Chains A and B, each alone.
Chain A
Amino acid sequence: MSAIPVAANPAVGTESARAAGTIPGTLAQALLLSRYQLRDYLRARRFVLMMAIVGVLGAIITLVLAIYRTSDVVQGLTGSSDAFYGSFWGGGVYVVIIFAGIIFGGDAIAGEFQNKTGYFLMGLPIRRTSVYVGKFLAALAASVVAVLFFLAILVANGAYYLGANGFPLALLVSFGIALLYLLALLGSVFLFSSMFKNSLYAVLVVAVLFLFGFTIIEDLIVGLVKIEPWFIIDYARSVLAYPFTSPLPAHITTMTGPGGRTFTSYNPTYAEGLAIMAGYFVLTAVAGLFLFEREEFT
């Protein structure tokens, strides 16, 4: 075996100065890393799985609409774009977002420790912030692809049933809100992923919390403690359907039931829902990064 021609490089002694000067900045490294991480995601089985989940979801919606198109309920749904997208997009996209978050983000950080891919990256002159942000951006991009696939299925159905009204402006607004919800969810998922060095624990905790954990907690808080659950991300997601809803539901509704007992239900205001999502994103992303900065590759 021949040796690497290093002896022929007389400038190697000054390489550290040269190398340090040409290494991309933190954000540039994050963007570079996200490109390769996204490439890895798009080629992996997890991407096929995610697309299959969205495909099955879309197929069920399409079949139900086709089979029961003459029923009053379906005719009501396909009668206006608000009813159609308010139900299928506003009420369904969060499922796609939660699955995308779990599949692309659940093990994003935990996997770096468990699978030892972190040893490949962290020996490089790169800040941990770049690794965290790069992986976050890749998970975000892969999730957006899944959300767009779901949107495409709905728009195709919408175009068939609604014709010219098949792509309302409200859908774009709701898509923007969905992206904010996705950011908030991924922030939370990355936080949990940073807490564990085991991918399975990270994915399990995220799946349990986001698929039904938060819903149960929200119901308990409203039913037993009787306060507005403004601190739970699940509470904010009804805002996804607001662009299709007029008038918006009352913020607080109190009803008197049998025996004079009162029941209170809460709906977030538009601003409140968006603020909860933005707050979740900022706080969990910062907390997750804080944890990752202090996590050791023992």
Chain B
Amino acid sequence: MSPSLEARGLTRRFGTFTALDHLNLKVDGAKCVGFLGPNGAGKTTALKMFTDLIFPTEGEAFVNGVSVQQDRKRALAACGVLIETPEIYGSLTPREALEMVGRLRGMAPKEVRDRTDEVLAEVRMSEWTDQKVGRFSKGMKQRVNIASTLLSDPEVLLLDEPSTGLDPRGVSEVRDIIRGLKRGRRLVFFSSHLLSEVVDVCDEVALLNHGKLLFYDSLANVTSRFVGGATDVSVEFLGPVADDLVKGSIATMPGVQACTRQDPTHLTLTIAGGPPAKARVLEGLVGLRTGLVGFKESRSALEEVYLSQVTDGES
């Protein structure tokens, strides 16, 4: 059976405020799904209901077909969970904290020891294995939290903004970890504010706004559906580019939908057709021999989708 997550009419109201409004979502199979949305969209609320930290007003959440609300222990047996930035008992060392997690999960002592060494190495905390967690920085604690999430090699991972509290290097390392996890037969479901992170590691995205699911689809389908796959590319030249060259050659290149001059040396090109079209335009620009020094996406397709949908949702 492949790993799965399902929300059936999952709703949560806090007084008159509806934090999550009838979320119906089924994520099936080994993949990485990004859960996007602005602050207050309902992402953490949904993840907390998937892990029984809060209770739904209506509806139910399932992990591998087991209701979290009916049998949290069996439902979460297959899950590695990281919600917010948990604190670990300050007097314990990472080794002891992970030993506790492993034993509570029913892992054999030797397996716990071996996996503890592996996952602490993975999050670059090997040299802190026997130091008390209470002395750690927020970022170090989050690394131990990530290690504890991975300890039992779970087939479903629920991560709520796992990069929170990490420095840029830590953010990059977490991204690498998630990318590595994708290679297993597991389902990774994580919320993030970082669109670049989602683009980098996710196969599918779900966008939530005002407690409602706006869409859930593959990254490719989402971008082609909402922005026709077009992306803005910022182009920089060594010196000023003549108007006739811009209008006559660059704006008419295959794939270029629009061409806007930002200043004498900078243009913004809207290119449709995905990476192949971008490659052709880049080759064309190089062929013009105009001193091309920069060719960079100014905004990802997902960013375009996010901004258009979230803005629409708010209006």
Q: Which residues of A contact B (CB under 8 A)?
A: 1-4, 6-7, 9-10, 12-16, 19-20, 22-24, 29, 32-33, 36-37, 39-41, 43-44, 115-120, 122-127, 294, 296-298
CB <8 Å contact, A124 and B105? yes
Q: Which of the residues A14, A23, A32, A44 comes within 8 Å of B100, measured between beta carbons?
A: A32
Known pairs A120-B145, A123-B86; list 20 more (Cβ under 8 Å).
Answer: A3-B181, A4-B184, A13-B155, A15-B153, A15-B154, A19-B106, A24-B106, A32-B100, A40-B89, A116-B87, A119-B84, A119-B85, A119-B86, A123-B53, A123-B80, A123-B81, A123-B82, A123-B83, A124-B104, A298-B48
CB <8 Å contact, A16 and B155? yes
Q: Which of the residues B53, B89, B103, B150 comes within 8 Å of A119, measured between beta carbons?
A: B53
* Shortest CB distance A219–B (Å): 40
CB <8 Å contact, B101 and A6? no
Whether B183 is near chain A, meaning CB under 8 Å from some CB there, is yes
Q: List B contacts of A15 (CB < 8 A).
A: 78, 153-155
**With contacts A4-B177, A4-B181, A9-B184 known, is A40 near B74, CB below 8 A?**
no
Q: Tell me, in angstroms, the Cα distance from A89 to B118 when the chains sit together.
A: 52
Q: Which residues of B contact A (CB under 8 A)?
A: 1-3, 14, 48, 51-55, 63-64, 66, 72-92, 96-97, 99-101, 103-107, 118-119, 122, 124, 132, 145, 148-150, 152-156, 158, 173, 176-177, 179-181, 183-186
Q: List B contacts of A23 (CB < 8 A).
A: 73, 77, 104-106
* Shortest CB distance A37–B (Å): 7
Interface-centre pick from A41, A43, A123 (highest chain B CB count, 10 A): A123
Q: Tell me, in angstroms, the Cα distance from A127 to B77 when the chains sit together.
A: 11
CB <8 Å contact, A3 and B176? yes
Q: Which of the residues B74, B148, B176, B177 comes within 8 Å of A120, measured between beta carbons?
A: B148
CB <8 Å contact, B84 and A4? no
CB <8 Å contact, A297 and B54? yes
Q: List B contacts of A115 (CB < 8 A).
A: 87
**With contacts A116-B84, A119-B83, A124-B105 known, is A40 near B145, CB below 8 A?**
no
Q: List B contacts of A9 (CB < 8 A).
A: 153, 184
Q: Tell me, in angstroms, the Cα distance from A144 to B155 when the chains sit together.
A: 42
- Closest 7 interchain pairs by CB? A3-B180, A6-B184, A123-B81, A16-B78, A119-B86, A43-B91, A22-B106
Q: Tell me, in angstroms, the Cα distance from A122 to B81 when the chains sit together.
A: 9
Q: List A contacts of B118 (CB < 8 A).
A: 4
Q: List A contacts of B48 (CB < 8 A).
A: 297-298
CB <8 Å contact, B91 and A127? no
Q: List B contacts of A2 (CB < 8 A).
A: 122, 180
Q: What are some 30 contacts across the A-B interface (CB < 8 A)?
A: A1-B122, A1-B177, A3-B179, A3-B180, A3-B181, A4-B177, A4-B184, A12-B185, A12-B186, A13-B185, A16-B78, A20-B77, A23-B106, A24-B104, A32-B103, A33-B104, A39-B91, A39-B92, A40-B90, A40-B91, A44-B91, A116-B86, A117-B86, A118-B86, A123-B53, A125-B79, A125-B104, A127-B72, A296-B55, A297-B48
Q: Tell me, in angstroms, the Cα distance from A15 to B75 when the chains sit together.
A: 12
- Counted as pairs of residues, one from A and one from B, with CB atoms less than 8 Å apart, the total is 168
* Shortest CB distance B100–A (Å): 4
Q: Which of the residues B52, B107, B124 comes within 8 Å of A122, measured between beta carbons?
A: B52
Q: List B contacts of A33 (CB < 8 A).
A: 100, 104
CB <8 Å contact, A125 and B53? no
Q: Which residue of A has the minimal Cβ distance to B176?
A: A1
Q: Which residue of A has the minimal Cβ distance to B63?
A: A16
Q: Tell me, in angstroms, the Cα distance from A296 to B57 when the chains sit together.
A: 12
Q: Tell me, in angstroms, the Cα distance from A23 to B101 when the chains sit together.
A: 11
Q: Tell me, in angstroms, the Cα distance from A290 to B179 when the chains sit together.
A: 41
Q: Which residue of A has the minimal Cβ distance to B156?
A: A16
* Shortest CB distance A1–B (Å): 5
Q: Tell me, in angstroms, the Cα distance from A23 to B152 when the chains sit together.
A: 11
Q: Which of the residues B2, B51, B91, B183 comes within 8 Å of A7, measured between beta carbons?
A: B183
Q: List A contacts of B96 (CB < 8 A).
A: 36, 39
Q: List A contacts of B106 (CB < 8 A).
A: 19, 22-24
Q: Tell me, in angstroms, the Cα distance from A13 to B29 when the chains sit together.
A: 10
* Shortest CB distance A50–B (Å): 15
Q: Tell me, in angstroms, the Cα distance from A15 to B111 when the chains sit together.
A: 15
Q: Tell me, in angstroms, the Cα distance from A213 to B77 when the chains sit together.
A: 45
Q: Which of the residues A37, A119, A125, A298 comes within 8 Å of B76, measured between beta carbons?
A: A125
